[in-house]
Amino acid sequence: MSTKSYIYCDYAAGTPCRPEALAAFAEFATGHYANPGAHHPLAYIAKKHLYDLHDRMGRAIGADPREIVFTSGGTESDVLALRGMLAAAKAPRNELVISAIEHHAVLLEAQRLERAGARVHYAPVSADGVIELDALRRVVSERTALVSVMYANNETGVLQPVHEVAKIAHAAGAKYHCDAVQAFWKLPVNPKEIGADLLTLAGAKFGGPKGTGILYNEMTNRLAPVIIGGPQEWGYRAGTENLSGMAALAVAMELADAERERAWPRVEALRNRLEEMLSKALGDNVRINGAGAPRLPNISNISFLHIEGQAMAIQLGEAGYCVGLGSACAPGETDPSHVLAAMGLTWEDAIGCIRFSFGPDITDEQVNGLADLCVANYKHLRGLG
């Protein structure tokens, strides 16, 4: 089966690279290949492009070019935010606070910091997957160096009250890091409006090349580098600058920002239709996780009760539909989700989870076909006919 024969419903894991981004990558790879750190005419031209690209990426989120640190993607940006802030923090601020539903890039780095001696607090969430603000207030204190709470959950699409989280962090004198990897493209993302001191984006989630991302770092922050060996990226990330990747990412950010309002209302309507069709056909045998909270327009996390989600995903894949089981970055591909566990789901309910995440290319016919297949496959797997 060719790539065009598949119907891709896993945009939360990765998106196709935009042709315009690929063209920008090729232009810079072949035409602006000099090292910006060298000292000759082509290097000086590259250095000017380096600043211009930081400016373009910054303008897409309302930031100064000096506040943009180019990285290899969301994971590196998250690690730099957490490890960098904790390493630079001064006593008594040696504590980290995160939500219980953070992406593994944040969760596993928090656990690593905990093993290294930092104290980490894990704020709980409601049954719909929204952080409990009162619980957050109880663990944020004068000892807190950083609060890290995502904008939109990568598994359920549930939105977090980021403005309130920022206020809680700042009231205690702590910094706030927002992983906005899933939110950008679908929602306006401006760290200064949110109140984020640090913010993570990943190009692979909105049509940029994989291996590209940024960490917004408010310019008054004290941040220790994780990768050392040179002064690049304002001293926060050593290594010869990837101008090609920056150019592609800048283009993808600009296009994603420009098409946001027209791209997603139709997708949200189709996502809602899928959930309605499944609920009508299967009733109490399906649970739409996070449905009681504000969500991104393209993600639907559904537990098919009494079956294994992996079995459903395999059958859908054989019919040409590519869907997810949860986070594509989970340590064990078939492990029940820590996000769903934090929301109170049992192991049995969590193991039946499927994540559908649509792009702007999804059609009415494809959604109708997906719903019909899910119903037929569920009945087959349950032995119901």
Active-site hit among 9, 17, 322, 329 = 329
How far is CA 265 from its chain centroid? 20
What are the residues facing 39 on neighbouring strands? none
φ and ψ of 353, to 5 deg: -80, 140
CA angle 178, 183, 187 (to 5 degrees): 115
- Do residues 126 and 156 touch, judged by C-beta distance below 8 A? no
Which residue stretches of 291-363 are H helix? 309-318, 338-342, 347-350
Whose tokens are 């960098």? That residue is 84
Nearest CA among 167, 162, 125, 118 for reference residue 144 = 118
Q: Is 329 one of the catalytic residues?
A: yes
How far apart, in whole angstroms, are the C-alpha atoms of residue 152 and residue 171? 23
Whose tokens are 């054989």? That residue is 318
Q: Which residues are catalytic?
A: 329
